[in-house]
Amino acid sequence: MIEIKDLNKSYHMGSNSLHVLKGIDFSVKEGEMVSIMGSSGSGKSTFLNILGMLDEADSGSYTLDGKPIKNLNEKVAAKYRNQFLGFIFQSFNLINYKSALDNVAMPLYYQGVKRAERMEKALHYLEKVGLAQWATHLPNELSGGQKQRVAIARALASDPKVLLADEPTGALDTQTSYEVMELIQNINDEGKTILLVTHEDDIAHMTKRIVNLKDGLIIDDSNVTQVRASVAKNKHLQSKQTSNV
Amino acid sequence: MSKLFSRDSWAEIIEALSSNWFRTLLTAFGVLWGIFILVILLAAGNGLENGVKQGFAGMATNSMFMWSQTASKPYKGLPKGRRYNFKISDVDAIKETVPNLRYVSPRNQLGGFRGANNVVRGLKTGAYNVYGDYPEIIQQQPMNIVSGRFLNYSDIENKRKVAIIGESVRTGLYEPGEEAIGSYIKINGVNFLVIGTYTKKANGGGDAEEAQKEIFVPFTSFSQAFNMGENVGWMAVTAQDGSSITSLKEQVFDVIKSRHSIDPTDDRAVGHFDLYEEFSKINGLFIALNAVAYFVGILVLLSGIIGISNIMLIVVKERTREIGVRRALGATPWAIRSQILLESIFLTIISGMAGIVLASGLLALVNKIMEGMDTSEMMFLNPSVNIGVVFIALIILIVSGLLAGLIPAQNAIKIKPVDALRTE
């Protein structure tokens, strides 16, 4: 699904040049669920941005679903982003004057899907994340976990090949984090490829493979046994209850 | 183009604009005010123009009046200071030689400013201007026939002694309520049958009462009755629409000069008054006035548009993150740009329309108030703008909305998605 060879990226700030990614080789097969870990400054966000075509690499090759991603003009990049990728952000990034349903329908709008069909599809995805009854609510009427679930529905709406999640649980408490991770795991179970940036160990272990980034290089890439979020959630609930007693 | 008419893009625009009502209203007010001022200024100019031009109403403005003076240069053995008269044959010569003339009306005159009493009816007498005229004169100097009729060509051919008298003549010579038509008045000792009465507006702010102290009789009977022979006192010459009398008058003078042995370079032999030239001067004044109205109006409008541009810049700045998200979700740069542009145009047009409606409302009110007043002596009449001006204003609005949105839209697409999402 994703093929990356010798990826380099550096930023220039005045006379200083910061080499962020120093030759990354990386590949993801369809249906995988990979977490990318690393301390801040390790280049993991840059890496995800390049994967998301929000940023372009200086050198190296990047192939997404058999299509080379290189020197795209903005129009084509926009089309690819819409078709191939779904984004989930740490701060949700919902449009605050649009209802949950309209937010989910947005990628479809840019695909040129007709209104009625768009709304139907969007509602379907909202149902999938369990928020159908919140469809007409504005984002500021939703809790953090609900917002993130709307964002996930939005990312799924255009039926992308890959979901890219940048710290999807970074702004949520443990309980809600696990609920969101449970949802993401379910989506992965249905065969969707998912890439997830996190710096939390427990979240990373809910994926199937952990890639460790340090100073712009992959220092570790290993498959792990997936911890089901539903189990972790129950455990967390129990420990909370016992501590309350 | 399809985006322009899709319900979705309009829904987006309404949503975006209504997310901050107060600011949208304030911004819109700038443009509203600008277009309001523009329309009011143009309408006021128009009203002034209507008011001044009502003095010319119905008058053949493409006319000149000419009369004979004395030759100021010796020519062909004839001395300077020689008096001469236009002849009735000059009229036909002018009609034949000079193209594009509509009317050439000869005219003779009795009486004049502070003339002696020259008209008698029974025991009453009065001093009036008496003109010998052709029927065309009513096209050149309009008057309102209140009763009876004006001159016609049978009167001319049969040299009938008939007269059309002004309203002031009637009040001077008749008892109130007395029937004038069918009665006789004696002009310089010759009886004329009254066949019509007229009223007339003063031309160019003159005295209406003086203008109605006139008596019109057929040219031919006038010549015969008062021993004018072949002489013609003066002529009113009107050019056809599409050619100006000012450019034709020299040709007319040349005909007169060659027929009366006057030096072709003698500019003082033929006296004239060019109505068209006067009219053009007034016209020029109003064109200038209109230009000033446009200039001021558009400048005021411009400040409103700068306001919109400014707000759109802020809006783009505020929505950096939203624009980044949209880009990440697959919005093309064009989709973003067209949205900002449409928002700006929409805001401009809506507020502009409101301005036009408001201005029209005010004008309707002014017209309503002025309806009850006697406007004939006022230099102001029917302030209005025609649909063409509204159309121009609308085009100005669309263009300026586009201009107002251009820089903000360009700023919006310069935002890289990655930068937009990074700002916390």
Please check the confidence at residue A174 and state whether its pLDDT lies above 50.
yes
Q: By residue range, what is the domain housing residue B269?
A: 63-275
Does residue A19 lie within any of the structural domains?
A: yes
Q: By residue range, what is the domain housing residue A33?
A: 2-91+160-244
Same domain, B288 and B373: yes
Round to whole Å and give the CA distance between A148 and A156.
12
Same domain, B185 and B315: no
B78 CB near a chain A CB, below 8 Å?
no
**B325–A54 C-beta distance less than 8 A:** no
B7 CB near a chain A CB, below 8 Å?
yes
Same domain, B24 and B109: no
A26 CB near a chain B CB, below 8 Å?
no
CB contacts of A154 in chain B (<8 Å) are 329
Same domain, B261 and B301: no
Question: Chain B neighbours among A 42-81 (CB < 8 Å)?
Answer: 49, 52, 54-55, 74-75, 78-79, 81
Q: Establish, for the pair of chains A and B, how many residue pairs have beta carbons separated by less than 8 Å.
A: 65
Round to whole Å and give the CA distance between B286 and B46.
8
Average pLDDT over residues B113-129: 82
Which range is least confidently modeled, A110-114, B303-307, B413-417?
A: B413-417
pLDDT of residue B1: 41
Same domain, B315 and B418: yes
Our CA-based measurement puts residue A99 at a distance from the nearest CA of chain B, in whole angstroms, of 11
- Domain end, chosen from B244, B275, B306, is at B275
Which residue has 């903005």 as its token pair?
A: A74
- Domain end, chosen from B215, B246, B275, is at B275
**B333–A93 C-beta distance less than 8 A:** no
Mention every residue, 6+ apart, whose C-beta is less than 8 A from residue A232.
A178, A181, A202, A206
Tokens of A132: 């159908």
Question: Chain A neighbours among B 404-423 (CB < 8 Å)?
Answer: 413, 416-418, 421
CATH of the domain at A214: 3.40.50.300
Please check the confidence at residue B164 and state whether its pLDDT lies above 90.
yes
Does residue A63 lie within any of the structural domains?
A: yes
B16 CB near a chain A CB, below 8 Å?
yes
Nearest CA in chain B to A99: B15
Q: pLDDT above 70 covers what percent of chain A?
A: 99
Strands A209-214 and A217-223, how do they pair?
antiparallel
pLDDT of residue B58: 63
pLDDT of residue A104: 93
Q: What is the pTM of this model?
A: 0.67
Per-residue burial over B71-96, b if 16 or more Cβ lie within 10 Å, else e, is bebebeeeeeebebebbbebbebbee
Residue B205 pLDDT grade (very low, low, confident, very high; cuts 50, 70, 90): very low
Same domain, B216 and B356: no
pLDDT of residue B141: 80
Average pLDDT over residues A143-167: 91
Same domain, B218 and B297: no
CB contacts of A43 in chain B (<8 Å) are none
Q: pLDDT of B36-89, one tens digit each?
A: 888 888 888 888 888 777 766 667 788 888 988 888 888 888 888 888 888 888
Round to whole Å and give the CA distance between B104 and B236.
6
* Full 3-state SS string of chain A: CEEEEEEEEEEEECCEEEEEEEEEEEEECCCCEEEEECCCCCCHHHHHHHHCCCCCCCEEEEEECCEECCCCCHHHHHHHHHHHEEEECCCCCCCCCCCHHHHHHHHHHHHCCCHHHHHHHHHHHHHHCCCHHHCCCCHHHCCHHHHHHHHHHHHHHCCCCEEEEECCCCCCCHHHHHHHHHHHHHHHHCCCEEEEECCCHHHHCCCCEEEEEECCEEEEEEECCCCCHHHHHHHHHHHHHHHHC
B338 CB near a chain A CB, below 8 Å?
no
Round to whole Å and give the CA distance between A160 and A81.
9
Phi-psi region of B242 (alpha: psi -120 to 50; beta: other; left: phi over 0): left
Same domain, B328 and B261: no
User: Given B19, B329, B421, which is nearest A97 (Cβ)?
Assistant: B19
Mutate to test the interface with B, among A49, A83, A90, A161 (most CBs of B within 10 A): A49
Q: pLDDT of A188-245, one tens digit each?
A: 999 899 999 988 888 999 999 999 998 888 999 989 888 888 888 888 888 888 877 6
pLDDT of residue B376: 61
Does residue A109 lie within any of the structural domains?
A: no
Which range is least confidently modeled, A132-141, B13-22, B282-291, B315-324?
A: B13-22
pLDDT of residue B206: 54
User: Based on the structure, what is the number of domains in chain B?
Assistant: 2
Phi-psi region of B92 (alpha: psi -120 to 50; beta: other; left: phi over 0): alpha
Same domain, B318 and B284: yes
Mutate to test the interface with A, among B6, B24, B329 (most CBs of A within 10 A): B329
Same domain, B160 and B188: yes
pLDDT of residue A245: 62
Please check the confidence at residue B423 and state whether its pLDDT lies above 60.
no
Same domain, B377 and B408: yes
CB contacts of B323 in chain A (<8 Å) are none
Same domain, B369 and B290: yes
A107 CB near a chain B CB, below 8 Å?
yes
DSSP secondary structure code for residue B359 in this structure: H
Does residue A25 lie within any of the structural domains?
A: yes
Phi, psi of B224 (to 5 degrees): -70, -45
User: Based on the structure, what is the number of domains in chain A?
Assistant: 1
SS3 B201: coil
- Domain end, chosen from B275, B301, B325, is at B275
Complex confidence, ipTM: 0.86
Average pLDDT, chain B: 84
Does residue A192 lie within any of the structural domains?
A: yes
